[in-house]
A and B are shown apart, each in its own frame.
Chain A
């Protein structure tokens, strides 16, 4: 049974890639704008805790719905916290 779970089919890979790709295409958000958003988020969070700005990552993705018909994009931010007790 485990055999079935091991390898992702190329069809599934294509679907996964397209879902992420089309969301960013649709919102028409340029990498420059994403960088600006990232910098602003970092600035705000830094007021309250020490974060690893070099390793933070933000991206726009599809909502995690199973139907796949959802065109609503969601902004995900992954921000490593170095010290939560600063200030």
Chain B
């Protein structure tokens, strides 16, 4: 099964956004779970020290013994801090510490931990904290590629643009955009930027559009990522997972939020 993966080694992906609350953790959980469902060996790492959340979104909060800071400080071995998700073969979580702050880990230490994990996994997904300070630097230090999450709002797009600039400055070659919480009804009314508008502004390749979907809240309540379910967001995340693997999956109209009427009204508004 492992040999099936197209790349020889392990791919390290950081999920980042700049702004908080746009869906980094939800995206990390769903992309990671989706990859594991396809038989990949996946390690999710929560790099948000002091404000850990990936464990609750994954429903693994009661199983934490050791965390990332314990690993870095040598209180335990890397393997001891990994929580195995019993629902999905090959899915592991390294939780963050809740009682420490960002300075407890340095980018160099992060790289060391990732190098160690690389030997055992096909994918390492890093859930980046909000902001552009040390937590961000830690999260991007060991990553090969980035998933930039934004919502179709001016504040989130502005921060995403900043993040793209910083990733470029840090030598990132592969950055893909996920537009989260798109509301097709609002796009149709001309009250929300469409996916095409956001891509136009940020000018990086689009890898996914996740519609605003209440089942995301429900799945978070239950601590079970919804990737692969038949809800709109579940389908969107399943498509993102396929695209992360390099498969060409066309964007459905549901994802794009572009209808005939938006195109027509677009022509009028342009004048």
Contact = CB atoms under 8 A, between A and B. Distances in A.
A11 B154 contact: no
A26 B161 contact: yes
Interface residues of A, number: 19
B158 A4 contact: no
B158 A25 contact: yes
Interface string B72-87: 0000000000000000
The A interface, classified by DSSP as helix, strand, loop or mixed, is: helix
Given A12-B190, A68-B200, A25 B161 contact: yes
B158 A18 contact: yes
Interface residues of B, number: 22
A8 B270 CA distance: 10
Contacts of B153: 14
Given A11-B197, A68-B200, A69-B203, A18 B154 contact: yes
B191 A9 contact: yes
Given A5-B268, A10-B191, A15 B197 contact: yes
B187 interface: yes
Interface of A: 4-5, 8-12, 14-15, 17-19, 21-22, 25-26, 68-69, 71
A69 B200 CA distance: 6
* Among B158, B187, B201, B268, residue most surrounded by chain A Cβ atoms (within 10 Å): B201
A8 B157 CA distance: 20
A4 B162 contact: no
A55 B203 CA distance: 35
12 contacts: A4-B268, A11-B192, A11-B193, A17-B154, A18-B157, A18-B158, A21-B158, A22-B158, A22-B201, A25-B162, A26-B165, A69-B203
